Amino acid sequence: MSHNPDTYYNRSEVSNSDLTELKNILHPRMQFGDKEAAFRFGSLVDAIITEPARVDYYRLTVDDEQYTEDEFRHAQEMQKALRMEARRDEFLFKVLGYAETQRFMVNTQQQFTYCGFPFSLDTRCKWDWWLGLFGGDLKTTFASTQQQFEEAIDFFDWDRSRAWYMDIAGSNRDFIYAISKKNCKVFKKFINRDDKVYNRGREKYEELAFQYWCLTPQDN
């Protein structure tokens, strides 16, 4: 494990983001909204909550990325909403107080099976929060209700990422906390191995992992 994000992104193992890129190539679909802007703002919120050392509140930057006062103000409102939620959510309180943040794992020669065909890939993942035996993810979302958040888990393949992370770590539990960009409400989802969300996510990643393996030159 490591905290260094540059080390993580420069590695060659297959990540969930790699599977997403492959899916976008093989199964393109209409994009809603400004994807780059959403990712950029999400990175700001992630940094403020899980990597505050990267944040310069005077220059309004995260590393070398410049933000506006409005973006920082909005992100801090969302951080405040998460902290307020932790006052009544004992589990979230422990996550914010005790979890290790931005930790990555590597699993060499991870074993997969797709339609009865066995294969292996070197894999990696990076946790927003890690609690020793399992971890979880922080999301920003345009959802304004719990139902919309549940639909987003499937639509944006967050179920796939959570199953991918769980199987790299060998964990039996996982969770997502999401903060609404619209109304600052906090939504949560707990995932257990072999439940509906996990099984749906695993089915998604196994197909993409097999396609990735097929497109990757194999050593003789």
DSSP per-residue codes, 96-140? HHH-EEEEEEEEEEEEEEETTEEEEEEEEEEEEEE-SS-EEEEEE
- Give the CATH number of the domain where residue 46 resides: 3.90.320.10
In-domain check, residue 48: yes
In-domain check, residue 30: yes
What confidence tier does 5 reach under pLDDT thresholds 50, 70, 90? low
Q: Write out the residue range of the structural domain in which residue 199 sits.
A: 5-215
Instruction: Dump pLDDT digits (tens) for 16-54.
Output: 999 999 999 998 877 666 788 889 999 999 999 999 999
| Between 12 and 178, residue with greater pLDDT | 178
CA distance 154 to 162: 11
Residue-level pLDDT at 216: 87
What confidence tier does 8 reach under pLDDT thresholds 50, 70, 90? confident
Mean pLDDT of 157-169: 98
Q: Is the pLDDT of residue 2 over 60?
A: no
Our count of domains for the chain comes to 1
From the CB of residue 10, how many other CB atoms can be counted at a distance below 10 Å?
Answer: 8
Instruction: Dump pLDDT digits (tens) for 31-41.
Output: 666 788 889 99
Residue-level pLDDT at 3: 43
In-domain check, residue 220: no
Terminal Cα distance for the chain, rounded? 30
| Helix or strand (DSSP H, E) at 189 | strand 186-192
Residue-level pLDDT at 40: 95
